[in-house]
Chain A
Amino acid sequence: MKARTTTGGRVDRSKKIQFTFDGRSYEGLAGDTLASALLANGVHLIGRSFKYHRPRGILGSGSEEPNALVTVTRDAARRTPNLRATQVEIYEGMTAESQNRWPSLEFDVGAINNLLSPMLPAGFYNKTFMWPRSWWFKVYEPKIRAAAGLGVAPTLPDPDRYAQQYVHCEVLVVGAGPAGLAAAAAAAQSGARVILCDEQAEMGGSLLSERSATIEGLPAMDWVAQTLASLRANPRVRVLARTTAFGYFPHNHVGLSERLTEHLATTPANLPRERLWQVRASEVVLATGGIERPLIFPGNDIPGVMLAAAARTYANRYGVRVGERIAVLAGSDAAFEAAVDLSATGATVAVIADVRPVGSIDGPGYAAAKSARLRILPNATALGVTGKLRVEGLQLGLIGADGQVVAGNTIACDTIVMSGGYTPSVHLHSQSRGKLSYDETLGAFLPAATVERTRSAGFSRGVSGLAAALNDGATAGAAAAAAAGLHTTAAPLSASSLDAGLAGQPGALPQLAGLIPPKKAFVDFQNDVTTRDIALAQREGFESIEHIKRYTTTGMATDQGKTSGLNALGIVAATSNRRLAEVGLTTYRMPYTPVTFGAFAGAARGEQFDPVRRTPSHDWAVARGGVFEDVGNWKRTRYFPIGSEDMDAAVHRECLGVRNSVGMFDASTLGKIEVVGKDAAEFLNRFYVNNWTSLGVNRSRYGILCRDDGFVYDDGVIVRLADDRFHVTTTTGGAARVFGMMEDYIQTEWQDLSVWITSTTEQWAVVAVQGPKAREVLAKVVTNVDLSAAALPHMGVAHGQIGGIPVILMRVSFTGELGFEINVPAEYGTDLWEAIYAAGQEFAITPYGTEAMHVLRAEKGYIIVGQDTDGTLTPDDAGVAWAIGKTKRDFVGKRGMERPALKAANRKQLVGLLTADPAVVLEEGAQVVLEPNRPIPFAMIGHVTSSYFSATLGRSIAMAVVEGGRSKMDQTLHVAMPGGDIPVKVVSTVFYDPQGARLNV
């Protein structure tokens, strides 16, 4: 650790930690980040840039870092890319790797992009990869992705656990620097429930980087420790370190992502890896500080060029000397503070070159630098940097009185630290839709009017100076508690520190005329956006900052332009002769820093991602090799193969089993709604198209439901169980929406009706027994019911028992055969299924699945709403107009279906289709056309909705909607297919037993 100072810093010098970076072993100290540990080992080259593959070092010291992205790998399933080395805490045995390089960081083939860079200007992707379209997917994008890419995702499922927690509090304080700590302390004093969160491992914010600051007469970090101890001792206060407030959502809903195990060498089994906190706070205090801006000059991205505040942090917090011979480039007083502290690490400060003129340089840092006898050069600028993988020198320029720049010396140095002033971190304020206003004096956008119950405090609203920031925080904390209805007063706090302000120099540094074109000065380091790109975008007519952002991609990388935003604005302002405030800001969006998918998914993965609904026959079907399909959340058995049967063979056998003897089918998934009340019949009269008042008790009827636009919405059998009680069935998929629609009309349109509805889908299990032998099967098990055709005719309902279980027996058929649907309380569903199966053995009863059910009903022309209808078919189009109660004054859809367009003769109507070749099964969805061999374009007059091979009929059958279909009976139409037209004959939708002889037995 050649660059480690001998004393100082917050690292634990007694705890050495071994880790590897790009396969090489290094030693760091407990308390180090990967960045500070690498710098302590003299390693500055950390990665390659996104577009040009330029060598990159460490620019910052926290979440603002755009360059030093690394991948940390624990094992094949735990490989996390795109982590900022400045935030990664090292642990014993950590394996970290650089990104964007091949074969090695020092020699990277992709760096050829740097040589080709004249061909990679702003908008390059937009301009170049336009044509041909298919090349985009096949050629360009994979190549670009392979060449660029930000890290590699793990290939195995994430084995870790992620927790989520909802929590309420009176005051949420974001940021535990001086203002945030003071705010939390003041708010806590009121008795408020307070949450204090900070993205860093250690709390203290800017104070962690101070050498000599004091608060209330104590060394600043002693005051921090004292304040935190008292907050942690308060049961109403929750202190969350390593926790990023990443998003500010409406009504003070703030998302926090807490990382619990990322910093540990071995992760305890009882801890989730991360926890997503969803905080609902009465009041929010944003004490998010600020981020130092880079200066923009050619070569400002070469490893060894670093933010001054970051260099100061490495010196004071981590005991790391970032260079031996350092040039300081100052655009603000903060650079002087850094120069003084860097010189105290034993490094040589070769020069402090200040871009400002003599008279405007002032402040405590300047005074300290002067008394430390550091060499200060005002009116200076940087014309370039020498060195490739590491800084070797700073090429100075001198700004004359006329503003012209002349070349100066090259200062030999291994490190350049720079400060362009600070940008207050207004991200969360802006996410909360708070307004920003530009402060000309400070050169910063500051929080203005708020929309949410939130307030900013300290540096994040432009209040600089330790004492001022502390008291601003305390005042904000007390005010937040008061706004939440609690009372407290903030006691004034005293402090001393160097206190550089936040003003600085947004935009590019002055350059020699003509220098800018050939050399790259980076604005957005992560997306490799240079001053030239921004200038080019403006030359090409992009004026709005939002357009410039998208065209150049400045601010669009994973760091969302934390260090680049204001500089980009400064350049745009300067080149377009606008004031910075006029250019305006781009929108801040969540997340502040990237959040893992794991945190968002939480427990909602695998089996817990979506609930699974299982029918009573589920286990029985599984045991017999049943093949399932998903219908909504339901698992339904599609077919029950025997031996090596494929689906066609199984369905063929199942259909014939039903037609020739008897079959059984689990119909429990049907939606069921109980409609009760003295106006139940009147409600159904108004709701369904049918007439219900005439339906007798223990009788059932097939109902059609339309929407008010007159189109079919759902269907199902409805049973009248009593004068004031109906059992309504719906389609499997329609249960919830029909229930919601009923509630809508009951609650809003027909408040005059006395009616209540209850969903009973889960309360009833249903087994359909269908086939000529159905009655004989039932006779073996049903007691107390006369099953004769006279006593229980088609659509009749009876109540009885099976093995003592109460059953409701409905004589209904969705197959065209003699059929019954047996309803039992759901907990008896499995018993019922097994009882029917046992009773059916002597008739070789065939359990059948949804596929055979579909074929059997199609043979009879029974529609499936949602398959044969699509929301644009009226009951007449679907061939079920007979269901409409013609004498009713009103029902849902009555007026709608009277519209002329809905009664036009040429509407698409449901018809049957028979192929000329009986072996040909049409494709569902295939288009129907009038003429064969027609010229393109041609009219499509309909499409196939259902199509099967019918075992019963020994040929294919299909249903289709066809314009004026019922007037085209026996005509030949054509189904257009890629392999050629298929001629079809238009027929009735009822292919089997049109007289219904098999039903009425």
Chain B
Amino acid sequence: MLVIECPYCGARPEPEFAYGGQAHVARPSEPATTTEDELLQYLYLRDNTRGLFRERWRHVRGCGRFFNAIRDTTTDFFVTTYKVGERPDLPGVGA
């Protein structure tokens, strides 16, 4: 059971959280000009990173907020968590 740092509440145990998939996948907001490729990219294509990975989490049994995290997929451990709208840079982590 991991301890996860909610950017709003602090450290809380893993059962309070829900995983939300890859982070920073922007939703195409103009359907009229969204190409088929952009749509497929958004809907179905995700990275399968070995190492540091940006992903979404939600403190669903806590404050209810979505936030982002950088987690090492080889160890399960979180490197950092951050609020929606932020995007800290770290060596070795993809955009």
Contacts and interface: CB of A to CB of B under 8 A. Distances in A.
Contacts, number: 54
Contact of A249 (B1, B30, B32, B43): B1
Given A889-B30, A895-B28, 4 more contacts: A250-B76, A251-B3, A743-B58, A747-B66
A253 B1 contact: yes
A744 interface: yes
B33 to A, nearest CB: 10
A898 B60 CA distance: 33
Nearest to B34: A895
B31 A894 contact: yes
A747 B57 CA distance: 12
Nearest to A888: B31
Contact of B84 (A249, A709, A747, A899): A747
A500 to B, nearest CB: 38
A708 B21 CA distance: 15
Interface in B39-78: 39, 42-43, 56, 58, 60, 64-66, 75-77
Interface in A537-557: none
15 contacts: A250-B76, A250-B77, A253-B1, A253-B3, A280-B3, A451-B75, A740-B18, A743-B58, A743-B66, A747-B84, A889-B31, A890-B29, A890-B30, A895-B39, A898-B31
Contacts of A128: none
Interface string A738-753: 0010011001110100
Contacts of A889: 30-32
A433 interface: yes
Nearest to A249: B1
A747 B3 CA distance: 23
Given A451-B75, A895-B34, A749 B27 contact: yes
Interface in B4-38: 13, 18, 20, 27-32, 34, 36
A895 B34 CA distance: 8
A751 B31 contact: no
B31 A895 contact: yes
A182 to B, nearest CB: 29
B90 interface: no
Contact of B43 (A251, A451, A709, A898): A709
B2 interface: yes
A219 interface: no
A896 B39 contact: yes
A748 B66 contact: yes
Contacts of B34: 895
B92 interface: no
A748 B85 CA distance: 8
B22 to A, nearest CB: 13
Given A251-B2, A433-B75, A740-B60, A708 B43 contact: yes
Interface string A446-466: 000001000000000000000
Nearest to A893: B31
Interface string A872-909: 00000000000000000110001110110000000000
B67 to A, nearest CB: 9
A787 to B, nearest CB: 40
Name the 10 nearest CB pairs between A and B, nearest first.
A895-B31, A251-B3, A894-B31, A747-B66, A253-B1, A250-B2, A895-B34, A749-B27, A709-B43, A890-B31
Nearest to A278: B1
Given A253-B1, A747-B84, A708 B42 contact: yes
Contact of B66 (A253, A433, A708, A744): A744
Contacts of A249: 1
B1 A250 contact: yes
A166 to B, nearest CB: 9
Interface in A208-259: 249-251, 253
Contacts of A278: 1
Contacts of B27: 708, 749
Q: Give the interface centre of A278, A709, A748, A751 by most chain B CB atoms within 10 Å.
A: A748
Contacts of A898: 31
Contacts of B76: 250
Contact of A751 (B13, B30, B43, B84): B84
A973 B36 CA distance: 36
B16 to A, nearest CB: 13
Contacts of A744: 20, 58, 66
A249 B66 CA distance: 25
Contacts of A743: 58, 64, 66
Contacts of B60: 740
A433 B77 CA distance: 12
Contacts of A280: 3, 13
Interface in A244-295: 249-251, 253, 278, 280
Nearest to A749: B27
Given A743-B64, A747-B84, A251 B1 contact: yes
A903 B37 CA distance: 17
Nearest to B43: A709
A673 to B, nearest CB: 13
B18 to A, nearest CB: 8
A433 B64 CA distance: 32
Interface in A687-716: 708-709
A751 B3 contact: no
A700 B20 CA distance: 33
B55 to A, nearest CB: 13
A748 B39 CA distance: 18
Contacts of A250: 1-2, 76-77
Interface in A121-179: none
A885 to B, nearest CB: 13
A46 to B, nearest CB: 38
A749 B1 CA distance: 30
Contacts of A748: 56, 66, 84
Interface in A422-440: 433
A889 B28 CA distance: 12
Contacts of A709: 43
Nearest to B76: A250
Contacts of A740: 18, 58, 60
A251 B13 CA distance: 10
B60 to A, nearest CB: 7
Contacts of B30: 889-890
Contacts of A253: 1, 3
Nearest to A452: B77
Contact of A896 (B18, B43, B75, B84): B43
Nearest to A739: B64
B13 to A, nearest CB: 8
Contacts of A749: 27, 29
A747 B42 CA distance: 18
Contacts of A899: 36, 39
A743 B56 CA distance: 13
A417 to B, nearest CB: 43
Contacts of B39: 895-896, 899
A747 B65 contact: yes
A39 B13 CA distance: 48
Nearest to B2: A250
A981 B3 CA distance: 58
Contacts of A747: 65-66, 84
Nearest to A743: B64
A294 B64 CA distance: 55
Nearest to A166: B13
